Amino acid sequence: MKTSQISFREDISKEKEGSYYERVFSVPENVCRLDIHYEYRRYREAEAPPGVCLRTEESVVDLALRDGRGNYLGASGAGRGNIHLSPWDSSPGYARTEIGAGDWAVIVGAYKVPDQGVSVLYTVTFTYRERTLLIGDIHVHTTASDGAFPSRAAALMAKDAGLDFLFLTDHNGYAHNRMLPEVEGLTVLPGSEWTHYQGHAGMLGVSRPLSSAFCVNSRKEAWEKLAEARRNGALLVLNHPFCPSCGWHFGFKDKGFDLIEAVNGGTVPQANRKCLRWWHEQLCRGKRYPIAGGSDYHRPEPGRHMGQPSTAVYAMSRSPADILEALRQGESYIIAWPGAPVLWAEAEGAVLGGTARRGAETRIRLEGLRGGDRIRLITDLQREDILCGPDTFRLELERRFPGARFVRFEVLRRSSLILLSNPIYFA
């Protein structure tokens, strides 16, 4: 990812010993992570008997930080020379936070200063937001409802499975969201699964989507409850809508939800296929329903694993806000497992979930293919099948789809669907 650096030196005089003050620096736009390194001469070394070096502490400079809005973000004293902050992971002692542009400040703590003063060099590294492929699971349960593992164990399993993000979606509750586990390299997001006899819905991205109990007794009350969750900022997913035992029976209300869980790891394959057929029919009618896939993982079972299936998103960073926005826009595709083929597609700058001019050239790139894999390019008007040769690993295509409303992509391996994309739309 693109980075830039600034450095500045702070000369601390003896007169400032025992005081705190700010050294302001500017954070540019579009930064998703900030790293600060600082160094100074803390110890003085003196010769002693041969082979012995005496080390004396002569300077101690503490570090703390505030952001451009004046919010205090944390402190690390003089114990560490490097800290970092981001919305998904920050150094111990510092808040996870969006890195907003503006005048931030290092809070200099002049704890111990020698008579001659001390010079401190600060180096700040900015990492910028850019489209990044992240793999995650939007549907996982823990011991907070009917799962077999507590949240931290589930998060560690997700990391071991090769996931970059994880939603914890326990049934009809959100107490588990108050203490989400922190696992390096994994963005853990809040969620819950609204669970009713007539259907299940994921409420993703907020700690408390509902102000009252989940219970409803009519279709009208159900949609009112879901509308409340959306007003409270939740990304609303209709989970396994065609599952024979717990499908969605409240109807498909336009603009009443954000996503369809088109592939669910816990339901029968026929239900997923039925959902896919229904979704394709809606696309052909001009509807735009983004899809995602989740494992619905509860416990170890034959053929059922964390991240199977997964959702691959092209998010602008690892931040919860950017992951949620990519899901909302359909900038994503579903894969059977985290190591499945990688897809990139764009038409005149429009990526998956976006809209390009009708007839625009579409460029498609797939990596991680195997001989015998079948690629499908599907529109509302036609389908093109491409059979991969025995040595195919990477495939690049350029196509135009005159008159089509959309194009979407599938990869099949030994007749199993291992990749299913959201469309690029044409208008």
Looking at residue 189, which CATH number applies to its domain? 3.20.20.140
Please give the average per-residue pLDDT across 28-39, as a whole number: 98
Asked if 176 and 280 sit in the same domain, the reply is: yes
Which of 107, 128, 149 terminates a domain? The answer is 128
Q: What pLDDT is attached to residue 189?
A: 97
Asked if 56 and 79 sit in the same domain, the reply is: yes
Q: What pLDDT is attached to residue 48?
A: 65
Asked if 322 and 203 sit in the same domain, the reply is: yes
Q: What pLDDT is attached to residue 303?
A: 83
What residues make up the domain containing 8? 3-128
Asked if 351 and 267 sit in the same domain, the reply is: no
pTM score, two decimals? 0.93
Q: pLDDT for 40-67, tens place per residue?
A: 999 987 666 676 667 789 999 999 999 9
Q: What pLDDT is attached to residue 45?
A: 77
Q: How many domains does the chain have?
A: 3
Number of CB atoms found within 10 A of residue 333's CB: 30
Looking at residue 42, which CATH number applies to its domain? 2.60.120.380
Asked if 277 and 232 sit in the same domain, the reply is: yes
Q: What pLDDT is attached to residue 1?
A: 83
Asked if 402 and 313 sit in the same domain, the reply is: no
pLDDT at 237 over 80: yes
Looking at residue 389, which CATH number applies to its domain? 2.60.40.10
Residue 244 pLDDT level (bands cut at 50, 70, 90): very high
Average pLDDT, the chain: 96
Asked if 218 and 165 sit in the same domain, the reply is: yes
Which of 128, 150, 179 terminates a domain? The answer is 128
Asked if 137 and 47 sit in the same domain, the reply is: no
Which of 340, 358, 388 terminates a domain? The answer is 340
Asked if 334 and 405 sit in the same domain, the reply is: no
Q: What pLDDT is attached to residue 47?
A: 67
